[in-house]
Structure 1
Amino acid sequence: MRKILVPVDGSEQADAALAYAIERFSDAEITALHVVDLPQGYFAATAGDPEEIPSVEHHKEEARELLEAVEAEAEQFGGGVETDIATGDPADEILEYASAHDFDEIVIGSRGISGVGRIVFGSVAEKVVRRAEIPVVVVH
């Protein structure tokens, strides 16, 4: 059975990627992954374990709520999904998770970024596309 990873963040693009994955890969095992971005900089460096920073726990709770909504949304699209939460740099965690769990493909939403020459992909989607060792589908 094919395994498809769909990173989700609550954006329209992530919703479109999930809908695409469910429609295109109806017989696959689909996992929706939300990555909680850990704080960086001086505060994070002096705080000890970043996982214990109060804002990280708050973001994990928001992630759990988001993933409950994703599960309900997947049912509306006619499919079921597994869900999971990771913490760290989003692009790095998506790639690590895909590798560690033997996914066959990543389906990720694009996000427009304003600025010179950056109008197609968001920074996370761009990093995933450039560094992935498995096929990546970017849904606009």
Structure 2
Amino acid sequence: MHLLVALDDSEPGWAALEFACTEHPDDEITVVHAVDPTDSGYGEVAHLGPDVLLERQREAAEELLAAAEDRGAEYGCEFETEAIVGQPSDAIVDYAASNDVDRIVVGSHGRTGFSRVLLGSVAERIARQAPVPVTIVR
């Protein structure tokens, strides 16, 4: 089985990686981080320019994925990593559809009520759009 772990730098994201490593140690695992070019702090695009901002986001993604490899090694878990560009839920679903993924594992912040409506849920959008089963870890 080929698992795709969607990783962001959050406790639920790390929990999803731990779940994949401990529950599926013999499966093929790919860990991806979606770099969202539309996600910028106030004024960063105007100050830095979109190309510099995207490059900084890619560098941060590579650092995150290197930390994931270190954490995976603690579990005796090896996997491929990749930084992908796009709105996270769409990019993750597209990657899964294009790369023979059998299951997606993603962390959820567990927001409820108004904050969920306001912020949305990447995990929920992935679960609704994915062409394969999705495991949501909290």
TM-score by length of 1: 0.84
Q: Secondary structure at the match of 2:81?
A: strand
Higher mean Cα deviation, 80-89 or 121-130?
A: 121-130
Structure 1's unaligned 5+ residue stretches are 41-46
The 3-state SS of whatever aligns with 1:118 is helix
Structure 1 segments (4+ residues) deviating >4 Å: none
1:32, 1:117 → 2: CA distance?
Answer: 27
Q: Which residue of 1 aligns with 2:34?
A: 35
Amino acid at match of 1:34: H
Q: CA RMSD in A?
A: 2.2
Q: Which has the higher helix share?
A: 2
Match of 1:65 among 63, 66, 86: 63
How do 1:1-140 and structure 2 match up within 5 A? 2-39=1-38, 53-113=51-111, 115-116=113-114, 118=116, 123-140=121-138
Given that 1:4 and 1:28 are in contact with CA atoms closer than 8 Å, whether structure 2 keeps it comes out as yes
In 2, the alpha carbon distance for the partners of 1:125 and 1:34 equals: 13
Query: Identity across aligned pairs (percent)?
Result: 41
Provide TM-score, normalisation by structure 2.
0.85
